[in-house]
């Protein structure tokens, strides 16, 4: 993925070309290219992109993880019709993190993201050298968008979900990294940073290397961890990001793999429920998959040779003592008469579900029925206080905007960005089929 430092980047949503006319319906979508979009790199200050839509159906561009007012958030209330432009004027004011952007039109998100309407947004402050972190884009700082995609037998990306795909989420039969099939990553003989983005519609990964080498988790969705953590396995659900440091100084190649998705496979829903009863949300019910092989190129000059020490974690001012309200959200596939729902209500563009006070801190208790659901909140950062009555698992210790909910989680969340009735923020399951089917709510901040 090419990177652009421009604060006024222009993104043109367009169709990929298709070789045969009769297959035009199978064309992929992308921004400025046939599939996905460029990596936008910005630092504090103005961010004034221009988005033009050349696709026949409306799109939007939601800045997932960017802390900005609802009016610029790019959710379902901000569609860009064919031939139109959208030019939000934003101020970036948040610590370094790996975010992403994607279309968010209600009932079309699964289809349009599967076709390719997504890209990466990196916030940087230019101080990673001081931190001793790899930061040479595409050399020792690799951005990896993980997406499983379903291909038909002619090799076209195809999105035709049937009922089971709505239930379990739409998973693919081919693994793409940065929109490419069968690619190989090249690493220098040193420490390499991987920015991992789960851009899949539904697949939940549990990432690890085939040789079980330990790696260091340095950042989660919203920024650095104060104390980087060594681990051998990293769960990553749709919408979540993680940055890890991997040591290639031995020169040995590596293979990044994932355990099976706990929501899929023969166990499926029953297996997941049983797994959860045994307290093992990450249990393996299906088979594991290969994600990406790495080879080491000794000709590339190594820059960073040791793992990170303490980092400067962002200050998001989340304090338990500031909590003014506790709310509960239950994600369900069969909520009352509504089916895919949160708190027994299906998403309704015309209904505001929650009003929160600007500048306030709350506790959100989030539970799920039947499956594990990644819960995402727009316009806010949270910290996981507990998972299933216990302390959060290591990968959930940092600041986040998306968390996988198997057992009930308690989130400490603060709302510093305004959103009106006309342009509310969303909270939803990031399994896009669940979101499209109604597992979403909206809230104002004022
Ligand atoms: Cu990444 Cu509301 O989405
Ligand atoms: Cu978002
Ligand atoms: Cu879900």
CA of 378 to the centre of ligand 2 (A): 5
Q: Which atom of ligand 1 is nearest to the CA of 100?
A: 1
Residue 132 lies in a domain: no
Q: 431 CA distance to ligand 3 centroid (A)?
A: 5
* Pocket of ligand 1 contains residue 104 by CB under 6 Å: yes
Q: Judge whether 307 lies within some domain.
A: no
| CATH number for position 438 | 2.60.40.420
Within this chain, do residues 188 and 275 fall inside the same structural domain, yes or no? yes
The number of the ligand 1 atom at minimal distance from the alpha carbon of 378 is 2
If you write DSSP's letter for every residue of 79-104 in order, what string do you get?
Answer: -B-TT-EE---EEE-S-SEEEEEE--
DSSP H or E run through 47? strand 45-47
Q: Write b or e for each residue in 302-325: b if 16 or more Cβ atoms lie within 10 A of its Cβ, otherwise e.
A: bbbeebbeebebbebebeeeeeee
CA–centroid distance, residue 63 to ligand 2 (Å): 6
Residue 363 domain flag: yes
State whether 354 and 280 are in the same domain: no
176 and 265 in a single domain? The answer is yes
Taking the C-alpha atoms of residue 197 and residue 100, their distance in angstroms, rounded to an integer, is 8
Distance (angstroms) between ligand 2 centre and the Cα of 84 equals: 23
Name the domain count of the chain. Answer: 3
Residue whose CA is at the smallest distance from ligand 1 atom 1:
64
Nearest ligand atom owner, CA of 439: 3
Are residues 219 and 341 both part of a single domain? Answer: no
Q: Which of 124, 158, 180 is the last residue of a domain?
A: 124
Kindly state whether residues 333 and 376 are assigned to the same domain.
yes
Domain containing 366 equals: 320-445
Could you tell me if 145 and 278 lie in one domain?
A: yes
On whether both 99 and 229 belong to a single domain, the answer is: no
Ligand 1 atom closest to 402 (CA): 1
Task: Name 143's bridge partners.
Answer: 195
One digit per residue, the tens of pLDDT, for the chain of length 446 reads: 888 888 999 999 999 866 555 566 778 999 999 999 999 999 999 999 999 999 999 999 999 999 999 999 999 999 999 999 999 999 999 999 999 999 999 999 999 999 999 999 999 999 999 999 999 999 999 999 999 999 888 888 899 999 889 999 999 999 999 999 999 999 999 999 999 999 999 999 999 999 999 999 999 999 999 999 999 999 999 999 999 999 999 999 999 999 999 888 654 554 455 444 444 433 434 578 999 999 999 999 999 999 999 999 899 999 999 999 999 999 999 887 888 999 999 999 999 999 999 999 999 999 998 899 999 999 999 999 999 999 999 999 999 999 999 989 999 999 999 999 999 999 999 999 999 999 999 999 99
- State the residue for tokens 């790996």: 98
The answer as to whether 129 is a domain residue is no
239 Cβ inside 6 Å of ligand 1: yes
Which residues, including other chains, have CB under 8 Å from residue 41's CB and lie 6 or more apart?
3, 4, 5, 122, 124, 137
Residues 160 and 281 in one domain: yes
Residue 270 lies in a domain: yes
**Co-location of 145 and 120 in the same domain:** no
Asked whether residue 315 is domain-assigned, the answer is no
Closest by CA to 360, choosing from 380, 342, 343, is 380
* Cα(59)–Cα(111) distance, integer angstroms: 11
Q: Are residues 291 and 325 in the same domain?
A: no
Residue 71 belongs to a domain = yes
On whether both 227 and 350 belong to a single domain, the answer is no
What residues does the ion ligand 2 have nearby, CB within 5 Å? 64, 378
Q: Are 149 and 120 contained in the same domain?
A: no
Report CA(311)–ligand 3 centroid distance (Å).
33
**Is position 65 within any domain?**
yes
């Amino acid at each position: 993925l090419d990177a652009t430092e421009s604060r006024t980047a222009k993104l043109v949503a367009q169709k990929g070309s298709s070789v045969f006319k009769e297959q035009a319906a199978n064309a992929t979508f992308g921004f400025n290219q046939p599939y996905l979009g460029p990596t936008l790199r910005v630092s504090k200050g103005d961010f004034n992109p221009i988005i033009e839509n050349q696709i026949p159906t409306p799109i939007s561009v939601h800045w997932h993880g960017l802390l900005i007012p609802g009016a610029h958030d790019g959710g379902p209330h901000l569609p860009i019709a064919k031939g139109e432009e959208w030019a939000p004027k934003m101020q970036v004011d948040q610590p370094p993190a790996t975010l992403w952007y994607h279309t968010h039109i209600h009932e079309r998100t699964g289809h349009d993201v599967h076709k390719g309407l997504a890209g990466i947004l990196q916030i940087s402050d230019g101080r990673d050298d001081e931190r001793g972190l790899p930061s040479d884009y595409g050399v020792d700082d690799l951005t990896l968008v993980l997406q499983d995609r379903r291909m038909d037998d002619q090799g076209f990306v195809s999105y035709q979900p049937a009922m089971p795909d709505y239930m379990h989420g739409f998973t693919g039969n081919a693994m793409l990294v940065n929109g490419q099939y069968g690619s190989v990553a090249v690493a220098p003989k040193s420490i390499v940073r991987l920015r991992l983005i789960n851009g899949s519609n539904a697949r939940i990964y549990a990432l690890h290397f085939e040789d079980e080498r330990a790696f260091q988790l340095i950042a989660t969705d919203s920024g650095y961890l104060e104390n980087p953590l060594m681990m051998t396995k990293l769960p990553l659900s749709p919408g979540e990001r993680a940055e890890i440091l991997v040591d290639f100084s031995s020169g040995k190649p590596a293979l990044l793999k994932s355990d099976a998705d706990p929501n899929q496979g023969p166990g499926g829903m029953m297996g997941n429920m049983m797994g959860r009863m045994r307290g093992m949300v990450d249990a393996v019910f299906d088979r594991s998959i290969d994600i990406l092989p790495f080879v080491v190129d000794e000709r590339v000059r190594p820059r960073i040779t040791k793992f990170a020490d303490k980092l400067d974690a962002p200050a998001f001012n989340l304090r338990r003592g500031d909590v003014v309200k506790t709310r509960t959200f239950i994600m369900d596939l069969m909520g009352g008469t509504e089916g895919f729902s949160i708190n027994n209500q299906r998403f309704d563009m015309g209904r505001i579900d929650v009003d929160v006070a600007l500048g306030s801190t709350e506790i959100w208790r989030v539970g799920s029925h039947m499956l594990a659901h990644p819960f995402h909140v727009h316009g806010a950062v949270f910290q996981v206080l507990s998972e299933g009555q216990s302390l959060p698992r290591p990968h959930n210790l940092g600041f986040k905007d998306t968390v996988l909910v198997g057992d009930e989680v308690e989130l400490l969340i603060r709302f510093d960005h305004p959103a009106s009735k006309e342009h509310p923020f969303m909270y939803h399951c990031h399994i896009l089929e669940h979101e499209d089917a109604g597992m979403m709510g909206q809230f104002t901040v004022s």
